[in-house]
Chains A and B, each alone.
Chain A
Amino acid sequence: MTEHAGFLTRREFVKILGPGLYILVSAQDFLSGQAPKGFGRGYPEDFNAYLRIAEDGRVTCYSGKVELGQGITASLAQMLAEELEVPYESVSMVLGDTKLCPWDPGTNGSRSIKYFGPALRAAAAEAREVLIQLASEHLRVPAERLIAENGFVFQRDNPGNKVDYGSLAKGKTIERHLETKPPLKAASAFQVCGKSLPRADFQDKVTGKAQFAGDIRLPEMLYGKVFRPPAHGAKLKRVDVSAVKRIKGARVLQEKDFVGVVHPLPDVAEKAIALIKADYELPEATINDGNIHEYIIKTPARDSVVEEKGDLKEGRSRAVVTFEETYRTPYVAHAPTETHTAVVHVEGDTATAWIGTQRPFGADAEIARAIGISDDRVRVITPFVGGGFGGKSQVGQAVQAARLSKLSGHPVQVTWSREEEFFYDTFQPAAVVRISSGLDKSNRIAFWDYHVFFAGDRSSQNIYDVPNVRTTSRGSGFGGGGPHPFPTGAWRGPGSNTNIFSRESHIDIMAAKAEMDPLEFRCLNLADQRMLRVIDAAAARFGWKPAKGPSGQGRAMVCLDYLGTYVAAMAGIRVDKDSRIKVERVVCAVDMGPVINPEGARLQIEGSVIMGLGYCLTEEMHFRGGAVQDIDFGSYSIPRFSWVPEIEPVLVENLESAPSGCGEPPIVGMGALLANALFDATGARVTQLPLTPARIRQAKA
């Protein structure tokens, strides 16, 4: 990683990589920075942007996606190998390099397989067909008599007559393209996809060789720290940096309110920044974690209608029993094990940045803006990322490093301390959901009136077979502002953690009132056959036996659809005498369409269940105004070894649908799953996350 040539102009770049450089034909837009920014940018059409075949047959796959631990390294290589007809082992990945990889909106929303997958597969399929054409000319055999397999093109009736891909492509851009694009393989024909092939990143990760942003070393590199206010919204009045002089080698860098220190050693830079003294003007702290939900309800903002059908009035008139409930969720921190880290080297009007980020495209523009250069002069390289969960779509640390690099004239590394990580985090927003609903005399849901406040609308849509529905969403779940005293953002399953906690809790409340088994109640009210199949799969594994709640068993279920992936989960819990929940078993059945890497999918399911225990049982950011009070793992408690239940992932076979994501769908049902199990165990209904002993005791009383 340290051998990178740094920023190159397009001409220099061509010179180094030679005239065969694949990227020039296809990707002038992202190389020159001329293309419009934002979601309007699409994936390039030229297959050369995604892959290059070297003379020795090795295939390099280029993607703007990044490896956060979710295993995209394997799944993308499998999809490429599948359509291109090359061995999986021959594929190497280049991920998240803004100068080498096709533009990408970012690694988030369980979108990699669902949206980038088809583009990558189409590119590989077209490349394969073009290679067959080239082979046809090379072998002087009509293309219809040729077949591509294992990195070779063979003559069907004379397999000895063959040519390898490397000899055809020679590491160069393949100029030929097809008018009519070949179809993608049917999932039933998959040979490489659908297998638990090993991940290429594991070996380096168990030996310490894997490089994260903090492991990048550049000549003359300094470590930087930026002075931080005591609270969001604080205004700097006076700053005294004189004490930093006591630290040998420390340099203070200032630009208006931006005050930083650089030093050749990271721990000494940290010591130096602590010597700075400042006075701030602090805004009055009126909001805190105790009153935030009242404040959210009162904050005016536009309601957008997510869905509307039938007539709520008509539904109300048919209802024989009605329900009104309010659900609340707190601010939750991302708390990745790797804190936000970046190395930025600004040289004149160019910058090269190594960032642990989920959004290399976008980070380039933010750096450019911060130091006043143009976007196309910034190259972002993404090493391995030590967990993201949505939080590393933000790149404040890279902006700090860029400013310090510009001011110091050195490459600068910034690694946030754990305290900074909590302070600067863009939390999952605290939010409120209000639902009113009713049942008709046959226990069918007669109406569903759903309002979400400041979580975002993802997964707010009703999935049940209800004739009269209105769903509205007020404010946004991203970006802070509105009622929030600090920035908020996407947190693994953004919006959905709140919306599905609310909906699936509410469904359970109705089932109990109807004196029905929660599974039978759901099935009675569902028309979606795919959902019913997933529920069946979960129930079969769990050994679900019908009983109305609360049954005293401490078992429960949820079902959901997250951006096209279906999940049904069941859990068994115990509640101890101190009102603490111990989760004993979770069965999680997921239908994500054809599964690209089953073991990878299982790891995502297990990881989601375990991470979900945190936001459901303990995680809740305490704060007064803009002052964040949980700043370490002492008071902000995330899941540990002893919390872990038996987790049984069930991959539901479905070769008919398009492949979709699995990184988030299994986490978003965890809130209702545990709240419903708590009710089943004790009869106590808690409508606010996390399910702390205090809230459980209060609900029991």
Chain B
Amino acid sequence: MEQKIQFTLNDRPVTVTTDGERALLWVLRTDLGLTGAKYGCGQSQCGTCTVIVNNEAIRSCNYPVKNVAGKRVLTIEGLALNGRLHPLQKAFMEHGAVQCGFCTPGMILNSYSLLLKNPTPSREQVVKSMEYNLCRCGSYSRVERAVLAAAAEMKGGEA
């Protein structure tokens, strides 16, 4: 059923009128034109569609858009502030944590939510929290390095 849904998207208020049961992923990618979150499986198994809702990483492919009403949504497009890359983005580039780049937005946002909760994770904690983000190119060890490097750079705080 069509409904009006208001929320904050990358620090800006937005309103969409659509069927509230539709997945947030498709509303972002089509209605709102933000294509950074990717479709990888549609079943919450791969993590390429990961976005942040109220500081939590969620799988937007299976998340009804009506659930973001009144909440704050952050996508990869909103992570760099005024053109200044987030330490995670810089670390992914510096540590070669990118190959084809398709899983990258999801990887970055999932690790972003980890660092919000745990600014100084151990290697094991990084692995555990990233375990359900899939990368077929095999960049896992670099992602792990990049997340640890970004955490060190941020010195336990928000950069």
**A337 in contact with B142 (CB, 8 Å):** no
* Chain A residues, Cβ within 8 Å of B46: 337, 418, 633
**B138 in contact with A208 (CB, 8 Å):** no
**B45 in contact with A214 (CB, 8 Å):** no
* Chain B residues, Cβ within 8 Å of A386: 38, 100-102
Tell yes or no: B41 within 8 A of A by CB.
yes
Q: How large is the interface on A (under 10, 10 to 19, 20 to 34, 35 or more residues)?
A: 35 or more
Nearest opposing residue in chain B for A266, CB measure: B26
- What's the minimum C-beta distance from B64 to chain A, rounded to whole angstroms? 11
Distance of A602 Cα from B92 Cα, bound (Å): 16
Distance of A205 Cα from B85 Cα, bound (Å): 12
**B43 in contact with A606 (CB, 8 Å):** no
Tell yes or no: B121 within 8 A of A by CB.
no
Of the candidates B76, B101, B105, B141, which one forms a contact with A644 in the assembled complex, judged by CB atoms under 8 Å apart? Answer: B141
In chain B between 125 and 145, which residues have their CB closer than 8 angstroms to a CB of chain A? 126-128, 130-144
Contacts A206-B93, A599-B96 given; does A214 touch B140 at CB 8 Å: no
- What's the minimum C-beta distance from B81 to chain A, rounded to whole angstroms? 12
* Chain A residues, Cβ within 8 Å of B23: 267
In chain B between 74 and 103, which residues have their CB closer than 8 angstroms to a CB of chain A? 75-77, 79-80, 85, 89, 92-93, 96, 98-103
Tell yes or no: B40 within 8 A of A by CB.
yes
- What's the minimum C-beta distance from B62 to chain A, rounded to whole angstroms? 11
In chain A between 184 and 210, which residues have their CB closer than 8 angstroms to a CB of chain B? 198-199, 201-210
**B26 in contact with A337 (CB, 8 Å):** no
Distance of A202 Cα from B99 Cα, bound (Å): 8
* Chain A residues, Cβ within 8 Å of B45: 418, 632-634
Of the candidates A210, A415, A634, A647, which one forms a contact with B101 in the assembled complex, judged by CB atoms under 8 Å apart? Answer: A210
Tell yes or no: B108 within 8 A of A by CB.
yes
* Chain A residues, Cβ within 8 Å of B80: 207
Contacts A70-B99, A215-B35, A633-B45 given; does A207 touch B79 at CB 8 Å: yes
* Interface secondary structure of B, over-half rule: loop
Distance of A520 Cα from B126 Cα, bound (Å): 40
**A633 in contact with B99 (CB, 8 Å):** no
Which of A26-34, A81-89, A508-516, A635-643 forms part of the interface with chain B?
A: A635-643
- What's the minimum C-beta distance from A446 to chain B, rounded to whole angstroms? 40
**B38 in contact with A214 (CB, 8 Å):** yes
Distance of A508 Cα from B79 Cα, bound (Å): 51
Q: Could you give, for residues 26-46 of chain B, a 1 whenever the CB lies within 8 Å of some chain A CB and a 0 otherwise?
A: 100110011111111111011
Distance of A336 Cα from B143 Cα, bound (Å): 18
- What's the minimum C-beta distance from A605 to chain B, rounded to whole angstroms? 10
Q: How large is the interface on B (under 10, 10 to 19, 20 to 34, 35 or more residues)?
A: 35 or more
Distance of A205 Cα from B38 Cα, bound (Å): 12
**A337 in contact with B36 (CB, 8 Å):** no
**B85 in contact with A206 (CB, 8 Å):** yes
Distance of A266 Cα from B49 Cα, bound (Å): 15
**B42 in contact with A418 (CB, 8 Å):** yes
Distance of A68 Cα from B98 Cα, bound (Å): 11
Q: Could you give, for residues 332-347 of chain A, a 1 whenever the CB lies within 8 Å of some chain B CB and a 0 otherwise?
A: 0001111100000000
**B104 in contact with A205 (CB, 8 Å):** yes
**A610 in contact with B138 (CB, 8 Å):** yes
- What's the minimum C-beta distance from A587 to chain B, rounded to whole angstroms? 14
* Chain B residues, Cβ within 8 Å of A607: 99, 137-139
Tell yes or no: A417 within 8 A of B by CB.
yes
Of the candidates B75, B127, B139, which one forms a contact with A642 in the assembled complex, judged by CB atoms under 8 Å apart? Answer: B127
Contacts A202-B98, A337-B134, A387-B100 given; does A639 touch B38 at CB 8 Å: no
Q: How many A-B residue pairs have CB under 8 A?
A: 171
Nearest opposing residue in chain B for A639, CB measure: B138
Distance of A418 Cα from B38 Cα, bound (Å): 12
Tell yes or no: B120 within 8 A of A by CB.
no
Tell yes or no: B72 within 8 A of A by CB.
no
Distance of A212 Cα from B137 Cα, bound (Å): 16
- What's the minimum C-beta distance from B29 to chain A, rounded to whole angstroms? 8
Distance of A21 Cα from B138 Cα, bound (Å): 40
**A69 in contact with B131 (CB, 8 Å):** no
**B38 in contact with A212 (CB, 8 Å):** yes
* Chain B residues, Cβ within 8 Å of A335: 136
**A610 in contact with B100 (CB, 8 Å):** no
**B136 in contact with A611 (CB, 8 Å):** yes
- What's the minimum C-beta distance from B137 to chain A, rounded to whole angstroms? 5
* Chain B residues, Cβ within 8 Å of A208: 34-37, 75-77, 105
* Chain A residues, Cβ within 8 Å of B131: 640-642
Q: Which of A208, A385, A602 has the most CB of B within 10 A?
A: A208
* Chain B residues, Cβ within 8 Å of A336: 100, 102, 136
- What's the minimum C-beta distance from A274 to chain B, rounded to whole angstroms? 12
Tell yes or no: B113 within 8 A of A by CB.
no
* Chain A residues, Cβ within 8 Å of B96: 599, 602-603
Nearest opposing residue in chain B for A636, CB measure: B45
- What's the minimum C-beta distance from A418 to chain B, rounded to whole angstroms? 4
Of the candidates A71, A387, A608, A644, which one forms a contact with B102 in the assembled complex, judged by CB atoms under 8 Å apart? Answer: A387
**A611 in contact with B138 (CB, 8 Å):** yes
Q: Which of A205, A210, A386 has the most CB of B within 10 A?
A: A205
**A338 in contact with B30 (CB, 8 Å):** no
- What's the minimum C-beta distance from B80 to chain A, rounded to whole angstroms? 6
Distance of A215 Cα from B105 Cα, bound (Å): 14
**B85 in contact with A339 (CB, 8 Å):** no
Nearest opposing residue in chain B for A633, CB measure: B45
* Chain A residues, Cβ within 8 Å of B33: 217
* Chain A residues, Cβ within 8 Å of B48: 337
**A608 in contact with B36 (CB, 8 Å):** no
* Chain A residues, Cβ within 8 Å of B93: 198, 202-203, 206
Of the candidates A209, A211, A338, which one forms a contact with B100 in the assembled complex, judged by CB atoms under 8 Å apart? Answer: A338
**B40 in contact with A69 (CB, 8 Å):** no
Q: Which of A71, A384, A603, A609 has the most CB of B within 10 A?
A: A603
**A338 in contact with B38 (CB, 8 Å):** yes
* Chain B residues, Cβ within 8 Å of A610: 138-141
**B102 in contact with A337 (CB, 8 Å):** yes
Distance of A446 Cα from B54 Cα, bound (Å): 69
Q: Could you give, for residues 438-453 of chain A, a 1 whenever the CB lies within 8 Å of some chain B CB and a 0 otherwise?
A: 0000000000000000
- What's the minimum C-beta distance from A217 to chain B, rounded to whole angstroms? 7
**A640 in contact with B137 (CB, 8 Å):** no
Nearest opposing residue in chain A for B127, CB measure: A641
Tell yes or no: A141 within 8 A of B by CB.
no
Question: Beyond A387-B99, A606-B141, A609-B138: 8 further Cβ-contacts under 8 Å?
Answer: A206-B89, A206-B98, A207-B89, A212-B38, A337-B102, A418-B46, A641-B143, A643-B140
A residues lining the B interface (CB < 8 Å): 67-71, 198-199, 201-212, 214-215, 217, 265-268, 335-339, 384-387, 389, 415, 417-418, 599, 602-603, 606-611, 632-634, 638-644, 647
B residues lining the A interface (CB < 8 Å): 22-23, 26, 29-30, 33-43, 45-46, 48, 75-77, 79-80, 85, 89, 92-93, 96, 98-105, 108, 126-128, 130-144
List 8 A-B pairs, Cβ < 8 Å. Answer: A205-B98, A207-B85, A212-B102, A265-B30, A336-B100, A338-B40, A387-B100, A607-B139
Closest 3 CB pairs of A and B: A208-B36, A69-B100, A610-B138
